Amino acid sequence: MDVIFTRIATKSAQIMGQPLAFVVSALLVIVWALSGPPLHYSDTWQLIVNTATTVLTFLAVFLIQNSQNRDGAAMQAKLDEIIRALDKARIEFVGIEHLTDAQIAKIREALEADIKADDKQSTAAPTVERLLARY
């Protein structure tokens, strides 16, 4: 099931991200709008576009979110491997994507302040915990 859904989500995201998909969607909206006068702008005429756009948007959200989740997880794995491979990198940064937004913001602020201070007195790079405690 996961493999099939992944293939569908990936292909759907690729198709929906193409300029042609936008053009086709715009043309469908134009055709719908032009059909208004002959159909006397009936409730059925309005219901068609409302239902179609709601259903398609609802399904597209799940497909796009799946693609974004996979892309984000793959990028985190790649970054973790880079951190692991670099001698001067702080291994404590592996997995910080699991922290809260507030904790990550605090780490970013501490790193930016640490870079600005350019503290050359310390030969060891501070750990994540020391960075958070310092700022």
pLDDT score at 53: 92
Domain boundary among 48, 65, 87: 87
In this structure, what DSSP letter does residue 53 have?
H
* Torsion-angle region of 119 (φ positive above 0: left; ψ -120 to 50: alpha; else: beta): beta
Q: How many domains does the chain have?
A: 2
- 48, 72, 87: which is the final residue of a domain? 87
- Residue pointed to by tokens 């780490």: 107
Both 106 and 130 in one domain: the answer is yes
State pLDDT tens for residues 74-123: 999 999 999 989 988 888 888 888 889 999 899 888 888 877 776 555 55
Instruction: Report pTM.
Output: 0.61
For residue 106, the enclosing domain spans 90-135
The four Cα atoms 66, 63, 5, 100 give a dihedral, to 10 degrees, of 20
Q: Do 40 and 6 reside in the same domain of the chain?
A: yes
